[in-house]
C-alpha cells in the first residue's frame, strides 16, 4: 500500500532549522559526507585519548554505526558493496562523550538508543537519531555511496571497526527515530503494541521452572 | 571422484549467491506479508526490503551490509568420494570463504572473542562452522552455505513435560516479543523451533529448522505440521511487525524439528533467520556436474529416522 510518510532530503551537516523540522517517523535521505564510528573508534578516542584523524564536525556531522561489506585492494582502492547499521544500544556508555568530542548532529544506526540517552545526551547536544530500515537495506544504501574518501585506523582496528569516510548522495532510506525533544518512535510503537500484547498470551502459561531474573512484565525491554 | 577444484569453485559461487540473491520461497512469503500489511510504517519497511532485493541482484552487491557468519552444511551421499578426502574438502571450504569475503565483498565479521583479532576473511578458530550429514546411496555432495546473522533472535529454555503445548507457546511468544522490539531480530523471518534432544542438540535442531527448511515446507508428522501452522498464526497475532513497529507480520513461516530427549525434559530453542535469509545450495556429482538450488532438502526421511536399522524393515 502507498504510505503517507513524509520524505526529506537532508544534508549531513544539517542546519538547526532543518533538524528542528524533523519529526519521528519521517523518512530521510542524506547528501554529503558520512563517517563510520562504533566501539573501536569510541574506545580509541574517548578511553585511549587518541586525537581524531579528521576535523569533526567540519568534515561531517553524521556518524554511522556501521561496518561496511568492503575490501581494500593492495593498490589502496576500495570495493564497497553493501552497507547496513549495527545495533546502537551497545554504544550507550560512550555516546555522551562522543557527541561532545565529535559535534555529531546525526547518529545513524540500528534500533535507536535508550530514552535516557536521548534526554541526557542527544537533546543537550542538539542531535537526533536516524534508524536504518529493515533491517537492512544494504544494497540500497550501497547505491547511495558515491566514493570512499578516506579510511582511518584500518591497521589498528581492522576493516570492520575502522573509520570509513564516505561521500553519499540520496543515501537512504532512514527513519527519524528521535527528534530534537528526545521523543522516540520505537518507544511510541512499543507502547501501542504493549496495549494489546496480553491477548496473544491467552491460552499459554508460565514455565514450571523459573529463570533467574525473570519478569512477567512484557512491557519491560530486555536490552 | 569429486575434484577439489570443482568443489572450491562451486563453494565460491555459493558464497556469492547466498549474499546477493534472496531465495524465491522467502521472497514469495515476504510479498504475501507485504500485501497483507496495513500499517504505514511496517508497509514502508517491507516495500523498502523488496526494493532492496532487486537492487542487490541488479548491482551484484550483498543484500545486507551485515553479511552474517558464513557456515557450511555438507551432506554426502554414501558413494561420494572426494579427491584428497575430508581434510582437502575442509581446506577448500575455508579457502572459498576467505576468497569470497574479498571478492563479493562480504563484511569480515569473524573475530577472536577475547582479543578481537580479525583476519578480514571470515576464517579463524572454528570459523566457518562445517557440519556434516550423510544420505544412503548417491555419489554426490550437497553443499549448503548459510550466512546467518549472529546476535539477536535466538534463545533456549529447558521446559518439562508438564509445561506442555501451552508452555511451548509461551516461550515462543516471549522470544519473539523480546527480540522483536526495535526489530533486533530483523523480522519478519523464518522462525525455527527445536524441541527435545539435549541442550546442544536442541540448539542445532532449531537453527537447522530456521536455516535449512524453506517457507511452505511442513514437518511430516501431521500433528507437528499443525503446530507449525498454529505457531505462525500466533506469532503474527502479537500486533508487532517489521522493526518492532505496529504490524501484522513477525513470522513468514515456522518450522519445527524434534529429537528424542531425556524422559524428564522437553528442551526448546527458538531461532529467527532474518530479512536476508541467506542460503544457497549445490549438488556436485561424481562426474563433475553441478546443480544449483535454494532448498537444502536437509531433513529427509533418513535424517529423521527413528528405527535402529536402515532401511526400515
B31 occurs within a structural domain: no
- Looking at the structure of chain B, the number of domains it has is 2
B165 occurs within a structural domain: yes
Do residues B211 and B171 share a domain?
yes
Q: What is the pLDDT of residue A1?
A: 45
For residue A160, give the nearest of B107, B151, B178 by CB distance. Answer: B107
The per-residue DSSP string of B237-249 comes to: TSSB-GGG-B-S-
Q: What is the pLDDT of residue B145?
A: 98
Domain hosting residue B91, numbered range:
4-18+63-149+279-293
Rounded CA-CA distance B85/B2 in Å is 10
Do residues B121 and B9 share a domain?
yes
Do residues B91 and B219 share a domain?
no
B309 occurs within a structural domain: no
Contact at CB, B63 and A138, closer than 8 angstroms: yes
**Best residue of A82, A131, A201, A216 to probe chain B, by most B CBs closer than 10 Å:** A82
Do residues B112 and B225 share a domain?
no
Residue B85 region by backbone torsions, left for phi larger than 0, else alpha for psi between -120 and 50, else beta: left
Residue B96 region by backbone torsions, left for phi larger than 0, else alpha for psi between -120 and 50, else beta: alpha
What does the domain layout of chain A look like in residue ranges?
7-198
Do residues B130 and B169 share a domain?
no
B311 occurs within a structural domain: no
This complex has an ipTM of 0.93
B45 occurs within a structural domain: no
What separation in angstroms does the CA of B185 have from each of A45, A110, B31, B148, B236?
Answer: 30, 11, 19, 11, 14
A46 φ/ψ angles, rounded to the nearest 5 degrees: -85, -45
Q: Which chain A residues are closer than 8 Å to B158 by Cβ?
A: 209
B142 occurs within a structural domain: yes
Instruction: Spell out the residues 6+ positions from residue B176 whose beta carbon is closer than 8 angstroms to its own.
Output: B185, B187, B191, B235, B238, B240, B250, B251, B270, B272
B121 occurs within a structural domain: yes
* Domain at B102, CATH number: 3.30.1330
Do residues B130 and B223 share a domain?
no
Average predicted confidence (pLDDT) for chain A: 93
Contact at CB, A158 and B243, closer than 8 angstroms: no
Do residues B161 and B248 share a domain?
yes
- Summarised one tens digit per residue, pLDDT across range A126-173 is 999 999 999 989 999 999 999 999 999 999 998 889 999 999 999 999
Rounded average pLDDT over A184-204: 94
CATH number of A7-198: 3.20.130.10
- Summarised one tens digit per residue, pLDDT across range A105-131 is 999 999 999 999 999 999 999 999 999
Do residues B145 and B155 share a domain?
no
For A111, name the nearest residue in chain B, comparing CA atoms only: B182
Residue A2 has pLDDT above 50, yes or no: no
**Best residue of B20, B26, B52, B156 to probe chain A, by most A CBs closer than 10 Å:** B52
Kind plus residue range of the DSSP H or E element containing B57: helix B40-59
- Summarised one tens digit per residue, pLDDT across range B147-169 is 998 788 899 999 999 999 999 99
Amino acid at each position: 500500500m502507498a504510505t503517507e510518510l513524509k520524505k526529506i532530503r537532508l544534508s549531513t551537516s544539517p542546519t538547526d532549522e532543518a533538524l528542528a523540522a524533523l519529526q519521528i517517523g519521517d523518512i530521510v535521505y542524506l547528501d554529503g559526507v558520512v563517517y563510520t564510528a562504533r566501539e573501536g573508534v569510541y574506545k580509541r578516542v574517548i578511553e585511549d585519548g587518541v586525537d581524531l584523524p579528521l576535523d569533526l564536525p567540519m568534515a561531517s556531522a553524521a556518524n554511522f554505526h556501521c561496518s561496511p561489506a568492503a575490501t581494500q585492494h593492495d593498490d589502496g582502492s576500495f570495493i564497497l558493496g553493501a552497507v547496513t547499521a549495527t545495533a546502537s544500544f551497545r554504544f550507550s556508555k560512550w555516546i555522551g562523550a562522543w557527541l561532545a568530542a565529535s559535534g555529531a548532529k546525526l547518529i545513524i544506526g540500528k534500533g535507536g538508543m535508550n530514552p535516557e540517552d536521548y534526554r541526557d545526551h542527544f537533546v543537550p547536544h542538539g542531535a537526533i537519531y536516524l534508524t536504518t530500515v529493515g533491517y537492512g537495506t544494504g544494497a540500497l544504501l550501497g547505491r547511495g555511496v558515491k566514493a570512499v574518501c578516506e579510511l582511518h585506523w584500518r591497521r589498528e582496528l581492522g576493516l570492520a571497526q575502522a573509520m570509513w569516510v564516505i561521500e553519499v548522495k540520496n543515501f537512504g532510506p532512514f527513519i527519524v527515530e528521535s527528534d530534537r525533544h528526545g521523543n522516540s518512535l520505537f518507544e511510541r510503537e512499543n507502547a501501542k503494541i504493549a496495549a494489546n500484547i496480553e491477548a496473544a498470551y491467552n491460552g499459554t502459561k508460565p514455565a514450571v521452572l523459573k529463570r533467574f531474573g525473570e519478569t512477567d512484565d512484557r512491557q519491560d525491554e530486555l536490552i | 571422484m569429486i575434484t577439489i577444484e570443482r568443489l572450491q569453485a562451486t563453494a565460491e559461487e555459493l558464497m556469492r549467491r547466498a549474499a546477493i540473491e534472496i531465495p524465491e520461497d522467502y521472497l514469495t512469503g515476504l510479498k504475501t506479508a507485504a500485501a497483507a500489511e496495513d500499517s504505514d510504517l511496517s508497509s514502508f519497511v517491507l516495500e523498502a526490503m523488496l526494493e532492496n532485493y532487486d537492487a542487490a541482484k541488479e548491482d551484484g552487491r550483498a543484500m545486507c551490509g551485515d553479511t552474517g557468519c558464513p557456515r557450511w552444511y555438507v551432506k554426502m551421499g554414501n558413494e561420494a568420494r572426494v579427491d584428497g578426502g575430508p581434510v582437502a574438502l575442509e581446506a577448500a571450504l575455508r579457502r572459498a570463504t576467505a576468497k569470497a569475503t574479498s571478492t563479493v565483498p562480504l563484511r569480515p565479521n569473524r573475530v577472536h572473542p577475547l582479543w578481537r583479532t580479525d583476519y578480514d576473511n571470515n576464517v579463524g578458530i572454528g570459523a566457518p562452522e562445517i557440519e556434516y550429514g550423510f544420505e544412503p546411496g548417491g555419489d554426490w555432495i550437497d553443499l549448503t552455505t548459510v550466512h546467518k546473522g549472529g546476535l539477536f533472535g535466538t534463545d533456549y529454555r529447558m521446559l518439562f513435560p508438564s509445561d506442555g503445548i501451552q508452555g511451548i507457546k509461551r516461550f515462543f511468544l516471549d522470544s519473539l516479543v523480546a527480540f522483536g522490539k526495535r526489530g533486533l531480530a530483523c523480522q519478519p523471518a523464518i522462525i525455527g523451533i527445536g524441541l527435545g534432544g539435549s541442550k546442544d542438540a536442541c540448539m542445532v535442531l532449531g537453527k537447522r529448522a530456521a536455516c535449512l527448511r524453506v517457507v511452505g515446507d511442513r514437518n511430516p508428522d501431521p500433528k507437528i505440521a499443525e503446530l507449525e501452522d498454529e505457531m505462525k498464526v500466533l506469532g503474527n497475532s502479537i500486533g508487532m511487525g517489521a522493526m518492532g513497529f505496529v504490524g501484522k507480520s513477525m513470522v513468514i513461516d515456522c518450522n519445527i524439528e524434534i529429537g528424542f530427549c531425556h524422559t524428564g525434559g522437553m528442551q526448546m530453542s527458538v531461532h529467527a533467520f532474518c530479512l536476508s535469509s541467506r542460503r544457497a545450495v549445490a549438488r556436485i556429482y561424481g562426474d563433475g556436474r553441478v546443480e544449483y538450488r535454494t532448498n537444502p532438502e536437509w531433513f529427509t526421511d533418513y535424517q529423521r529416522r527413528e528405527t535402529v536399522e536402515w532401511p526400515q524393515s
